[in-house]
Each structure stands twice: as structure tokens, then as C-alpha cells.
Amino acid sequence: MEDYSENVIPHNHVLKQNDRVQRNKYVPKLLWFTGLSGSGKSSLASSLEVHFFNLGYNTYILDGDNIRGGLNADLNFSDSDRTENIRRIAEVSKLFLDAGVIVLTAFISPFKKDRDFARELVGQANFFEIHVDCPLEVCEKRDVKGLYKKAREGKIKDFTGIDSPFEAPTNPDIRVNTANNSIEVCLQELIKVIKPKVRA
């Protein structure tokens, strides 16, 4: 008989998500940030990731920087490609959840049906839709990346809020307002709601 100690898994076992949850002592969730360009999705996701990382959890952010230049480099910003973009992000998120990693996605994700697809794919219990709410005027005034200016000049097509719609969530799991509140205040709101659901 093999001398496996109590917590050691035998080599012929196929690891499942539950093995990781048991060991890691937290439950991975998909934290889906949605909002206009410049609303603060990435800043919030990044701050929340650090919070969970500091608790010893495994975390990862999917955003334009690591997705649009790689996996989805073959896609543009037409409605159909936006849908395929979100489909792939949702499928990759599902893999990360299976691997025991808390996933934070920071994409405009303007279409309700695409966000609903993601929710359904990973299951309602594993999904938090986080609406980073900030009026277009405020986002456009911030214009951190200069994208709104270019969109207004017609140099960028299909820009959400300008010539492409944003379907705001009607009933998100969490809504934070970054026009009236600091990132730190919004972060604390997120932590208050999400943290209890991530604890194993």
C-alpha cells in the first residue's frame, strides 16, 4: 500500500476544480466589469485584484492589453466581432475558474446578450456583473487615452458611447459610481459584497 499522507492526491487522479478549492481555501469567481471607456474598470479591477492577491488568492485580469493583441488579434470592433471577442473571453474565464483562479475582466462589453452569455456559461453563482457607472460626459472629459477626441473626429469608428451603443445593465450584481466617488470608496464597496462569496 502506498504511503500517501492524508492531503496528497495519487498520481492517477484527474484534478477537478474542487480539489483546488479544497487546497486553496477560496472559491474562484468571475468578476465582470462593464462600463464606458474611461469609466475606471481597469483601475478598479486592478485594485481589487491586489486586495485578493494580498489575501494569498490566485487572481488574473483579462483586459484589452492581454487579449486584443493576442488571442483576439484577429477580431475588429464590428458588432459580430465584439460578440466573438466576448464569447472567447467568457470561455477563457471559464478555464481560469476551473483552474481555481479568480478572474477579473475589464472590457466595455456593451451588449447585454454577450454579458448574459458569460453569466450563463460560468453559472450565475460564479458570476458578478459589476457596472462601473460613469456618465459619458465625465468619461469624455477625462479622455485619459485621447480616444473620445479621435472618435468625435471620426478617426475611430464604432466607438462605444459615440457611434456604437452601450446597453447599461439594468440589474447588475453591483453598481459603483466613479463620477461621484473615489476609486478607493468604490473598491471598498466591491470588497464588502464580493469577499464573503469568495471565502471557502
| Distance between first and last Cα of the chain | 32
Residue 117 binds its own copies (CB under 8 A): no
Q: Does 46 bind its own copies (CB under 8 A)?
A: yes
Which three cell numbers, joined as nine digits, stand for 142? 477625462
Q: Quote the CA–CA distance of 42 and 26 in Å, as a whole number.
A: 23
Q: Using the rule CB under 8 A, is 66 a contact of its own copies?
A: yes
- CA separation for the pair 113, 53 (Å, rounded): 31
Smallest gap from Cβ 137 to its own copies, in A, equals: 26
Judge whether 59 and 199 are in contact, CB under 8 Å. no
Residue from 1, 2, 3, 10 in contact with its own copies (CB under 8 A): 10
Interaction between residue 60 and its own copies (CB under 8 A): yes
Q: Is 70 in the site for its own copies (CB under 8 A)?
A: yes
Residues 178, 40 contacting (CB under 8 angstroms): yes
- From 56-64, 109-117, 134-142, 159-167, span contacting its own copies (CB under 8 A): 56-64
Q: Are the C-beta atoms of residues 126 and 30 closer than 8 Å to each other?
A: yes
Whether 66 and 16 have beta carbons less than 8 Å apart is answered as: no
User: How many positions of this chain bind its own copies (CB under 8 A)?
Assistant: 39
Catalytically active residues, by annotation: 109
The reply to whether 193 sits near its own copies by the rule CB under 8 A is: no
Tell me: does residue 23 bind its own copies (CB under 8 A).
yes
Residue 114 exposure: Cα atoms within 13 Å on the Cβ side: 23
Residues forming contacts to its own copies in the complex (CB under 8 A) are 8-15, 19-20, 23, 46-47, 49-51, 53-54, 56, 58-62, 66, 70-71, 88, 91-92, 94-96, 98-101, 184, 187
